[in-house]
Amino acid sequence: MGRSPSAIKQKAHSLGLKKKLGWVNQLTLEQRAYIAGILDAEGTISVKEHRKKDDWHRGRCYLEPVLAVYNTDIRLLEWLKKTTACGLISPHWQLKKGLGNRKPCYVWKTNAEYAFKGIVEQVKEFLLLKRTQADLVLALFSGKGEPQDVLREVRILNRRGGV
The per-residue pLDDT for range 9-54, each reduced to its tens digit, is 666 656 655 444 457 889 999 999 999 999 999 999 999 887 666 6
Q: Report pLDDT for 94.
A: 62
- Is residue 15 situated within a structural domain? no
- Is residue 145 situated within a structural domain? yes
DSSP secondary structure letter of residue 71? E
Name the packing angle between helices 131-140 and 113-123 (round to 10°): 140
Q: Report the C-alpha gap between 163 and 152 in whole angstroms.
A: 13
Strands (E), the chain: 20-21, 24-25, 43-50, 62-71, 88-91, 106-110
Return the number of other C-beta atoms located less than 10 Å from residue 43's C-beta: 25
Q: Is the dihedral of CA 53, 57, 60, 62 positive or negative?
A: positive
Cα angle 79, 104, 80; round to 5: 10
| CATH code of the domain in which 37 resides | 3.10.28.10
**Which of the residue ranges 52-66, 77-91, 141-155 would you say has the lowest mean pLDDT?**
52-66
Q: Which residues contact 132 (CB under 8 A, 6 or more apart)?
A: 157
User: Is it the case that residue 162 has pLDDT exceeding 90?
Assistant: no
- Is residue 13 situated within a structural domain? no
Per the structure, the complete domain to which residue 105 belongs is given by 21-157
- Is residue 134 situated within a structural domain? yes
Q: Report pLDDT for 5.
A: 63
Number of domains in the chain: 1
Residue-averaged pLDDT of the chain: 83
Mean pLDDT of 67-81: 95
